[in-house]
Chain A
Amino acid sequence: MMSFMEFMQLATHVGLHHFLLFSAILFAIGLFGLLTKKGLIPLLMCVELMLNAVNINLVAFNHYMPVPDYTGQLMAIFSVAVAASEIAVGVALAFRIYRDRGTVNVDELKELKG
């Protein structure tokens, strides 16, 4: 086992692993929320958290890996674009469902079954 100092040494030298771990935790939090929340809007928020975690990965890879250009960031930007469209449509859907059903709680929306 490494000593405390070595651990601190590792921990304080921020690198790719730190970012990856952070994004994994963020993603897990989003996932937890996604699985436990009832409201449609909170679910959307959790999805946004997860998307952010992914973006962090992309940007971090771009920064720490030996790549010649900004492809990673570019991907992140595309991802942001997709996320933006997603949230727009998602919110519109939530609004629509609220108008039609009077609720946005997913446990009351169970038409999708075999």
Chain B
Amino acid sequence: MFDFALVHAWLIPLLPALAFLVIGLFTRQDKKTSAIIGITANGASFLLSLGVVGAVLANRIVMAEPFVMKTVWARIGGMELGMGALVDPLTAMMLVVVTTVALMVNIYSVGYMEHDPGMGRFFAFLSLFAASMLGLVISVNFLQMYVFWEGVGLCSYLLIGFYYYKVSAREAAKKAFITTRIGDFGMLLGILLLQITFGTVDFMELKTLVPDYIWVSGTSFLTVIGLLLFIGPIGKSGQFPLHVWLPDAMEGPTPVSALIHAATMVVAGVYLIGRAYFIFAELPVVLNVIAWLGAFTAFFAATIAVTQRPFKRILAYSTISQLGYMMLALGVGSLTASMFHLMTHAFFKALMFLCAGAVIEAMHEEADIFKMGGLRYRMPVTFKCMTIGVLAIAGLPPFAGFFSKDAILAAAAEVSFPLYLLASVTAFLTAFYMSRLLFVAFFGEVKDDCPAQETNAFMRWPLVVLAALSVVSGAWGHFAGFGEWVFYGVHEEEAINWTIAGSSIVLSVVAMWLAYQIYVEKRWSSFQIARRLGVLYDLSFHAYYIDEIYAFVRELTVDKIGRLALWVDNHIVDGIVHGLGRLAKGLAVVLALPQNGDTQQYVAIFYTGVIALVAYSLFYAVKILSVTGGAF
């Protein structure tokens, strides 16, 4: 049974892909059938993923010796490019996380999208996304990963722009694609350099080649490759400075935000580094960059999240922040902590997004949290789930976030105190803004015109399941030995470091108390605080004006030069061509002047020519005569 799943691991991405084809080609118009097909395919993938986990456990497949199946995709110009499935505990974990969230989101979407005429299309895209993401997870080489990496990018584009009639959605989709493309450019360069240097991009082959290469040539060139590869995750996982697309991506339907822009796709960057950790772990410079950039992003995004007002935007910045955490963990050398947080984050962030979806739908597309209030009376289940999510992300025991965040903090503290400090401040801010969200939206008085009602069952049950996972996954992972399962090198024995854990609990509690005092008790006016902070508040509220800066830079380097190039093309490059044409025409006019119809002039010219010929031949005749002495 398990072996069947293992050997057929390639079916996991293929089933949703088939679902995409079937829905896209045949049942697009039929909402119900489309939904059933999508959910069935996802469910089957989920079951297979569980089977893969079982197989990994049963066959004792460990990180060092994964199970690999591959086939040749194309052979060209001396390269052999493969496709296949690589299964190790990391893969198995990712498969389960992705399929679980995908399945929940699929079910949720049945309720969420029931009035949308594009529901068939929606399920098609969701299935395509699942296929791409799962294909990415089981990649055997960088190229396959890049292929599916772009695939998830495409789905993200399609789904952010799902409401294509909205200009904001259209622009957000475009922005997401282009921003991640910039990252992909770096990643593609890295892959090219790997291919050129090693002649292969296969993970398992590289794993054997890289140490030898380092032994012979040192790490300097590999560091360049590593940094280039890291640009990809910067784009995809929303790290500074390519994070700008992620908040805008919330223009998509909320289930999409939950699935793609919180739980799965955005962690692809983290997963990439995890998958290629055998390269990165050898490159201390790159690890340092990753750690610092991750920590900075975590802090940076948290400071923005504190002042945002739309529900999903807060969650988006929190996602950026949490992704920064994962990067930080990778940077400080703890694959385990990073992947652990990836898993728990996937559950609780998906949970919160789905809650956000329920709330926003209940509020008739009103996203500003300050226009909500008292929702806990109207939507008790959603409220409870959201609370679990907030507690989880704030890192309070026994919720999932506590264990994973603690692991990251511990790992950071081992390496560098400044990093640890940054991470702790971020944890404080996180707890603060998440509680702010919770308190503002769900506590207080019910507004008079509040239309909110509890949502339907399709939307409720996934919340409950995810909430349950958000509670147990941390503790379960911790006690069941996640660290013995997913690790790089020698797995570290991890007990909870109660100094660090305790301080972070205290910080979170203080932050939540503060938020309670401000937003529920109204002990301090939030407006007063904002005014006090002045410029800082403005910067935070406008996300440090990064969008504006980018727009300016783009206008300068793309549009202005583009117009210049067009001018050059029309007036100089083309001008030369047309000038040559005009030159020929002018020459023709000049040369046509003698042709004035005066026949006698033609005759005169003709005879002038004859005279010239005669003179010429005479000249030579005389010459010959002088040589031959007068006789022919």
Interface residues of A (CB under 8 A from B): 31, 34-36, 106-107, 109-114
Contacts and interface: CB of A to CB of B under 8 A. Distances in A.
Contact of A35 (B592, B595, B603): B603
B208 interface: no
Given A35-B600, A113-B595, 12 more contacts: A34-B600, A34-B603, A35-B604, A106-B598, A106-B599, A110-B596, A110-B598, A112-B595, A112-B597, A113-B592, A113-B596, A114-B595
Interface string B129-171: 0000000000000000000000000000000000000000000
Interface size class of B (residues with CB under 8 A): 10 to 19
B4 interface: no
5 contacts: A34-B600, A35-B604, A109-B597, A110-B597, A113-B592
B213 interface: no
A58 B478 CA distance: 123
A106 B600 CA distance: 8
A112 B599 CA distance: 8
Nearest to B599: A106
Contacts of A106: 598-600
Interface string B586-618: 000000100111111001100100000000000
Nearest to A107: B598
A48 to B, nearest CB: 15
B597 A111 contact: yes
Contacts of B600: 34-36, 106
Contacts of A114: 592, 595
Contacts of B598: 106-107, 110
Interface of B: 592, 595-600, 603-604, 607
Contacts of A110: 596-598
Nearest to B593: A114
Contacts of A36: 600
A114 B598 CA distance: 11
B388 to A, nearest CB: 93
Contacts of B599: 106, 109, 112
Nearest to A37: B600
A64 B597 CA distance: 43
A107 B597 CA distance: 9
For A36, A110, A113, the residue with the greatest tally of chain B CB atoms inside 10 Å of its CB is A113
A97 to B, nearest CB: 12
Contacts of B597: 109-113
The 9 residue pairs across chains A and B that have the minimum distance between CB atoms: A110-B597, A113-B597, A114-B595, A114-B592, A112-B597, A113-B595, A113-B596, A35-B600, A35-B604
B607 to A, nearest CB: 6
Contacts of B607: 31
Contacts of B596: 110, 113
A91 B598 CA distance: 20
Contacts of B603: 34-35
Nearest to B592: A114
Contacts of B604: 35
Contacts of A35: 600, 603-604
A47 B597 CA distance: 19
Contacts of A109: 597, 599
A107 B600 CA distance: 9
A109 to B, nearest CB: 8
A37 to B, nearest CB: 8
Contacts of A113: 592, 595-597
A34 to B, nearest CB: 6
A60 to B, nearest CB: 19
A54 B598 CA distance: 26
B594 to A, nearest CB: 9
